[in-house]
Amino acid sequence: MLTDLQRQRYADVLWWGLKTARQNRFRKGDVISLRFGLPALPLAEVVFQRLIDLGFNPVVRPMLNAAMERSFYQGADNRQLGFVPPGEPELYGRLNGSIFIHAPESLTHLREVDPRRIGRAAVARKPLKEILDQREQAGDFGWTLCAWPTADQAVKADLSLKDYSRQIVRACFLDRRDPVAQWQEIHRQATSIKRWLSGLPVKTLHITSAHTDLEVKPGENRRWLGVSGHNIPSFELFVSPDWRGTRGVYHADQPSYRSGNIVSGVRLTFARGRVVEAAAEQGEAFLRAQLAMDPGACRIGEFSLTDRRFSKIDRFMANTLFDENFGGRQGNCHIAVGAAYLDAYDGDPATLDRARRKALGFNDSALHWDLVNTEAKRVSARLKDGRSVVIYENGRFAH
């Protein structure tokens, strides 16, 4: 597990992430949500003390444990699945920040639950997310999240708990005397690459690897995002493309644990922007149910690349936060089926009404599911003048 000093450094990095992720400055008296899995209490206590010392008003929300989640999704009727507690919309309308510490006791405890029930609960809470999206676009809300080592994650990643903890420490630079300085330097380098990518007049991106041959259309009025403080760790640079321009085959060679289920060997075939064929070596029924959650669940909301020079993550971690930032020998790319990030709009996202979002091809869904490919790959950009340039190869950006 993490030492006292490492937990203090983790809190330092989370505060850096939170204030970096928000456009406007925080002020004393701001309301900060602190959510955490129960195994992460040792870190939550340190973060809570830090928020108090900074003059904020923390709202503490421990997450349901595995037994309670199983009871809810197996036993709740439709009204209970769609229940939103009184006062939640009002609270979300007042939140200035959110810190979430992911610490699952179990990764497969919901494997016997009908995926449609999980989807129904997610759809019911989508309006709360929209409140936070609007506040974030106005600069009044910021969020960050991180992970805490747990025994089941370590088992699923085929690591001892000690080695799993060591991976988290290395990935977040908690073994450095000043981890915040390291994050600031990566932020500086990533900002330079994002400016280069956003300045290219790209018509389409072509991603090729051993089992992937996919074309993605970034779309008009887009900018690349990433290393923004939102996720700790985060090394990916990504864009929310025009979903209508997606075609071809995408393969996710990394397994994915989601909502108590494991899915591996995913193969998606896109035509006219939608998944028209979906297969998986494991968990195919769950995959298909997720893609049918709502009309946007079978469309792309994100395309992402991670440069291996930034990321120290070189093992499968059974945790999307780490796996989508895998560095290793070849870096990674991933797509997310489901919701787009409106921050990828090259302008003021607050001005994007529903009609404008639709016209620009920003996807809308209650789902956002990252599916990771770690194969050796080349990503070429076909520019609007007809030229083709390689932007990513051998696990690194060409910039």
Question: Over 90: is that where the pLDDT of 261 sits?
Answer: no
What would the DSSP string read from start to end of 177-188?
Answer: S-HHHHHHHHHH
- Banded pLDDT at 1 (limits 50, 70, 90): confident
pTM listed for this prediction: 0.90
Question: Over 90: is that where the pLDDT of 376 sits?
Answer: yes
pLDDT digits (tens, 9 = 90+) for 57-87: 999 999 999 999 999 999 999 999 999 999 9
Average pLDDT, the chain: 96
Write out the CATH class of domain 4-176.
Answer: alpha beta
Q: Name the pairing type of β-strands 247-252 and 57-62.
A: unpaired
Element (H, E) at 337: strand 332-338
pLDDT at position 155 is: 96
pLDDT digits (tens, 9 = 90+) for 291-309: 999 999 999 999 999 999 9
Question: Over 90: is that where the pLDDT of 399 sits?
Answer: no
Rounded CA-CA distance 50/83 in Å is: 33
Question: Over 90: is that where the pLDDT of 123 sits?
Answer: yes
Question: Over 90: is that where the pLDDT of 350 sits?
Answer: no
Q: Which residues pair with 144 in a beta bridge?
A: 99
- Average pLDDT over every residue of 326-355: 94
Phi/psi of residue 277, nearest 5 degrees: -140, 135
Element (H, E) at 66: helix 66-75
Question: Over 90: is that where the pLDDT of 26 sits?
Answer: yes
Domain assignments of the chain as residue spans, ordered by start: 4-176, 180-397
Decide: 141 and 95 in contact? Cβ < 8 Å.
Answer: yes
- Average pLDDT over every residue of 351-370: 95
- Average pLDDT over every residue of 171-178: 97
pLDDT at position 259 is: 85
Decide: 34 and 58 in contact? Cβ < 8 Å.
Answer: yes
**Token digits of residue 216:** 């993605």
Percent over 90 (pLDDT), the chain: 96
In our burial notation (b when 16+ CB lie closer than 10 A, e otherwise), range 331-362 reads bbbbbbbbbbbbebbeeebeebeeeebeebbb
pLDDT at position 267 is: 98
